Amino acid sequence: MRKIEIQQGRTALGIELGSTRIKAVLIGFDDHTPLASGSYDWENQLIDGYWTYSMEEVWTGLQAAYRSLAEEVERLYEVQLTTVGSIGFSAMMHGYLPFDKVGNQLTAFRTWRNTSTEQAAVALTNRFSFNIPQRWSIAHLYQAVLNQEEHVKEIDYLTTLAGYVHWKLTGQKVMGVGEASGMFPIDSQTGTFHAEMIQQFNELVEFPWKVEEILPTVLLAGEAAGTLTVEGAKLLDPTGKLQAGIPVAPPEGDAGTGMTATNSVAERTGNVSAGTSDFAMVVLEKELEKVHVEIDMVTTPTGKPVAMVHCNNFTSDINAWAGLFAELLQTMGTNVDRNELFTTLFEKAMEADADLGGLMNVNYFSGEPITGFEEGRPLFVRKPDSRLTLANFMRTHIYSALATLKIGMDILTKEEKVELERLLGHGGFFKTERVGQQMMADAMEAPVSVMETAGEGGPWGMALLAAYLVNKKSGQALEDYLEQEVFAGNKGTTIHPDEKGVESFRNFMTGYHQALEIERTAVLKFR
């Protein structure tokens, strides 16, 4: 059955370039179940003051992830992967990738993690009366203008990582509306870039180009976005087995794929994606009353307005400590599986004291705009009489990862009175059964649901968007497709806040706000 499904191309392939891993997931058209996966681990680098990835590694990683998926298909189903029904590419949102008229890259890729555009972000926020975060592409562009960078006058095309990959594989300079909403504000009435703000930006700059001329064409989920070219097929699969001509979905960001993967594209639904960075997204019934610099206004893959709380830092600090523990074990002659190590550490956190033993942590590897930091210094603090146990240590780090998200979500729920019917979690943070889910529920003071597919996260969400492109019924909205074709009968678990856990996290937050003052001193003094 599965072998025939694969041979006939009744499948969809989603590939997402995350911040620490490039992952490919192949699903079937009939039940949208993951059939095979492949991945490639990578890390950003701080070069010349910017967090970046090399474009060479983009292709090395994409090819490796696809190759490992194809090998798994052949191992599991005894068939070579030569075609699929549709493909979609997604990536971490935002950032800055400018190209000239002949396709030359004009600067190194500046990722979402950079916090070097405050001057531009503040100026544009004031001009548009619309929050423009530092990581947005338009903030990077305007900062380059303000910095009088030579390359700006040569820009012919400005895109994101997902848009770049799609362009190279299809020849199309297009972008899904969710991803586009992290470049420049979207008008949800028209489903494209906000015309009045486009005009306002053009009045600020004097270059041979107008901003609308260098941005990609915006598409909604389900709209045609080109096909895999012969050159693109060879670029993704250098063995030459993958056929050209496969329909490709509009490229999306990890926010849009996260919403899709958790069936959170309808109004009054929300999802939280937790990995290297984390973000919570709530689909709104109406616009917010005020402009909040802590809240991004983006869209679903179909263009509905979404309030987004995005935090630059989540599991990087936990990952670093886990690496230290693994090194210790290896030094002692014990090799431990990375997944097993994380599971053990997370489960141990459930045994912590209610007051975490008096420990405190700030997990900022990089700047964190929500709390006003341009740089980060991972900071662990304890008093002489603190109870330093592994359980207290781990729970402190998990709470620290959740703290900034909580600050942003309180603005939505307490100040703007936004109501949520459900909050669904996905990403690596939820892989250990119950632990991350329970602590997220306690921190957000709301029920948190996790589907059985939560561990697949964004790549599965992108595969769903690719399936929707060619598999939807006439006139079937994405919300209906997900509800009726994908999630109907899908088993998941819902965990409600625990009273003691809520109190423990509230007490932690009191100390966390105080610890941010120590963090500010560390940033200034520890260079």
Identify whether the C-beta of residue 37 lies closer than 8 Å to the C-beta of residue 23.
yes
Q: Burial letters for 55-85: b for 16+ Cβ neighbours within 10 Å, e otherwise?
A: beebeebbbbbbbbbbebbeeebeeebebbb
Decide the pairing of beta strands 45-47 and 34-41: unpaired
Q: Pull the structure tokens for residue 310.
A: 């995005």
Distance CA 335, CA 333 (A): 7
- Angle between helices 390-410 and 338-349 in degrees, nearest 10: 80
Distance CA 253, CA 161 (A): 9
Write the single-letter amino acid at 224.
Answer: A
**CA separation (Å) from 24 to 64, 227, 349, 447?**
10, 18, 31, 30
pLDDT at 431: 86
SS3 471: helix
Q: Pull the structure tokens for residue 132.
A: 């423009």
Q: What is the DSSP letter of 432?
A: S
Cα torsion at 352, 403, 278, 286 (round to 10°)? Answer: 130
Instruction: Look up tokens 């992830």; give the residue.
Output: 65
Instruction: Give the residue ranges of the chain where pLDDT is below 70.
Output: 453-456, 491
The distance in angstroms from the start CA to the end CA of the chain is: 59
Q: What is the pLDDT of residues 260-271, one digit of tens each?
A: 988 889 888 888
Backbone angles phi, psi at 298, to 5 degrees: -120, -160
List the alpha helices (DSSP H) in 420-485. Answer: 435-444, 457-471, 478-481
Q: Work out the angle at residue 218's Cα, subtended by the Cα atoms of residues 213 and 220, and round it to the nearest 5 degrees.
A: 170
Strand order in the sheet with 86-91: 34-41, 21-28, 11-17, 86-91, 252-253
Q: Please give the share of the chain, as a percent, with pLDDT higher than 70.
A: 99
Backbone angles phi, psi at 253, to 5 degrees: -95, 170
Identify whether the C-beta of residue 409 lies closer than 8 Å to the C-beta of residue 309.
yes
Q: What is the pLDDT of residues 33-42, one digit of tens each?
A: 999 999 999 9
Determine the number of helices (DSSP H) and then strands (DSSP E) in the chain: 17, 24
Catalogue all structural domains in the chain, each as residue range(s) with its CATH number. Answer: 2-262+454-486 (3.30.420.40), 316-453+497-525 (3.30.420.40)
pTM of the predicted model, to two decimals?
0.81
